[in-house]
Amino acid sequence: MRSQESTFLSRRSLLRAAGITAGAAATAPLLTGCGSGAATGSTTSSVTYWHYMVASDKAQTQMNDTVVELFTKTRPEITVDKVYVPHDQIAAKVIGSGTTKQGPDVLQQTGDLDQFVPAGLVQDLTDRWKAWDQSSQFPDTALGRINGKIYAIKPYANLIGLWYNQDILDEFRITPPTTMDELGEALKKIGKKYVGLGIAGSGEGLDGDWQGRPFYSAYGFDYLKPEVSALEEAFTLLDGWRQAGYLPADVATWTQVSSFPRFTAGQVAFCVNGNWQYGNAKKDAKFRYGVVPIPQGPKGGTVYLGGESFCIGSFTKNADLAWDFIKTTWASRDGGLAALHGVGSIPLRKDAATDPAFQDPVIKQFQEATKHGTDYPDPGLGTNVGAVRQAMARGWNAMMSGQQTPAAAAKSVVDTLATLIKK
């Protein structure tokens, strides 16, 4: 997510920074010919790495430096040229490289593969991934695929879960819910004494997309095969809770950012929000709290896995060295743990879970929630992804504000999607 994906990475560290050891040394010498600006046939001793870890954020900078050192310690003869590109500019810069034929060796990106792959700007990593002896450490959700081929590796994730106020749950003898029916029963017990469910109803930014995803997917709604009935079921559930008073009266104005301070103030029983809020919970909450994966519905349910993924640029002169960089840095166990200890992102590598940090119940639950994760944005939306998200945001807010019935809001969304989604 980059709704708040730029803010994800700027959140305070969740845990005290831990010392990160260098990964295993490269097993065989590689050619040192990498460099986005090199002429054909020439070689350099550098890797050009485009990223958007802002220098003004010490946590981001330290994490980025720590991870890059995992590579430079094993390959001291190689210089890593870290090129900062603001997040809102990096896609345009990559697309522009198609004209100059000069781009990064390694690229940090979020949600732009649908643009990059058709334009031939990033390399197919499928064969490299299959040949890597550590690929089994990752779930399939760590892979950025287009038309079945792998173009990006996502080593860590940011995602939403269901935060809960344990003191309120104890008052009503409620167990943290695992299904939408159980959540509904919990909200009924709580009634109007507290705000039952803090959720972003504004549709601002990507809130309608991210906050809504676990609910509409719980009833089988799919952007690529949109059906009014599935979306209407999800909207009907939430609208019913709104009309019963389980949601805040002004829910249509709540954003993902504004909802969490209400939760930490003790005003809200449950809150849909992300792992990036853990630092705020530790700092501000004066009550016992916890988190569980978003409850499942009749058709299951998924949450988006935000965070960064890493690609090899098409114009690199040495893809082998670029691949070695990705494996040794972000895709390594130490790289994933650097993201966890640095900014609170959840490593997707299985062996990262042996780190003591995963004994923390909040971290453990967010790791559990990644099992219900799905790629963000949905593959196949192409250049229409922004318009699709906006359509969902409008329908979400119209339903949450009561301006449209669930049926009308669902139909409006699907009618718009019908003009955007390629059959």
pLDDT tens for each residue of 221-248: 999 999 999 999 999 999 999 999 999 9
Contacts of 377 (CB under 8 A, 6+ apart): 111, 114, 304, 385, 388, 389
Dihedral angle sign, alpha carbons of residues 214, 218, 223, 229: negative
Q: DSSP assignment, residue 287?
A: S
Percent of the chain having pLDDT more than 90?
82
Q: Average pLDDT over the chain, rounded to whole?
A: 89
Residue 38 has pLDDT above 50, yes or no: no
CB of 380 within 8 A of CB of 113? Answer: no
- When pLDDT is averaged across residues 387-399 and rounded to a whole number, the result is 94
- When pLDDT is averaged across residues 69-84 and rounded to a whole number, the result is 97
10 Å Cβ neighbour count for 185? 13
According to DSSP, the residues that pair with 122 across neighbouring strands are 313
Pairing of strands 156-157, 268-274: unpaired
Contacts of 256 (CB under 8 A, 6+ apart): 3, 4, 200, 205, 207, 210, 211, 273, 274
Residue 111 has pLDDT above 90, yes or no: no
The per-residue pLDDT for 379 is 78
Token pair 């334009």: residue: 119
Helix (H, G, I), strand (E, B) or coil at 136: helix
Q: How confident is the model at residue 17 (pLDDT cuts 50, 70, 90)?
A: very low
The per-residue pLDDT for 35 is 41
3-state SS of the chain: helix, strand, coil percent to 5?
Answer: 45, 15, 40
Q: DSSP assignment, residue 11?
A: S
Q: DSSP assignment, residue 15?
A: S
- Locate the domains of the chain by residue range: 5-158+306-370, 160-305+381-420
Q: DSSP assignment, residue 267?
A: -
The per-residue pLDDT for 24 is 29
CB of 395 within 8 A of CB of 413? Answer: yes
- When pLDDT is averaged across residues 396-401 and rounded to a whole number, the result is 97
Closest CA to 217 of 202, 235, 241: 235
Query: 5-158+306-370 has which fold?
Result: D-Maltodextrin-Binding Protein; domain 2 (3.40.190)
Residue 6 has pLDDT above 60, yes or no: no
Residue 28 has pLDDT above 90, yes or no: no
Residue ranges of E strands in 38-168: 44-51, 79-84, 106-109, 143-146, 149-153, 156-157, 160-165
Token pair 């040192």: residue: 32
Contacts of 419 (CB under 8 A, 6+ apart): none
Q: How confident is the model at residue 44 (pLDDT cuts 50, 70, 90)?
A: low
Is there a cis peptide before residue 379, judged by omega within 30 degrees of 0? no
Q: How far apart are CA 56 and CA 61, in angstroms?
A: 8
The per-residue pLDDT for 20 is 27
Which pair of tokens denotes residue 224?
Answer: 């690529």
| Least confident span in 21-25, 63-67, 159-163, 191-195 | 21-25
According to DSSP, the residues that pair with 163 across neighbouring strands are 271, 291
Domains 5-158+306-370 and 160-305+381-420 share a fold: yes
CB of 391 within 8 A of CB of 420? Answer: yes
Q: How far apart are CA 216 and CA 16, in angstroms?
A: 37
10 Å Cβ neighbour count for 42? 10
Q: How confident is the model at residue 319 (pLDDT cuts 50, 70, 90)?
A: very high
Residue 89 has pLDDT above 50, yes or no: yes
Q: How far apart are CA 293 and CA 274, in angstroms?
A: 10
Q: How far apart are CA 189 and CA 228, in angstroms?
A: 31
The per-residue pLDDT for 56 is 86
Percent of the chain having pLDDT more than 70?
89
Residue 19 has pLDDT above 60, yes or no: no
Residue 150 has pLDDT above 90, yes or no: yes
Q: How far apart are CA 154 and CA 157, in angstroms?
A: 7
| Least confident span in 25-29, 136-140, 208-212 | 25-29
Q: How far apart are CA 180 and CA 96, in angstroms?
A: 46
Q: How confident is the model at residue 45 (pLDDT cuts 50, 70, 90)?
A: confident
CATH 3.50.50.60 fits 160-305+381-420, yes or no: no
At residue 356's C-alpha, the angle toward residues 352 and 357, to 5°, is: 80
Contacts of 58 (CB under 8 A, 6+ apart): none
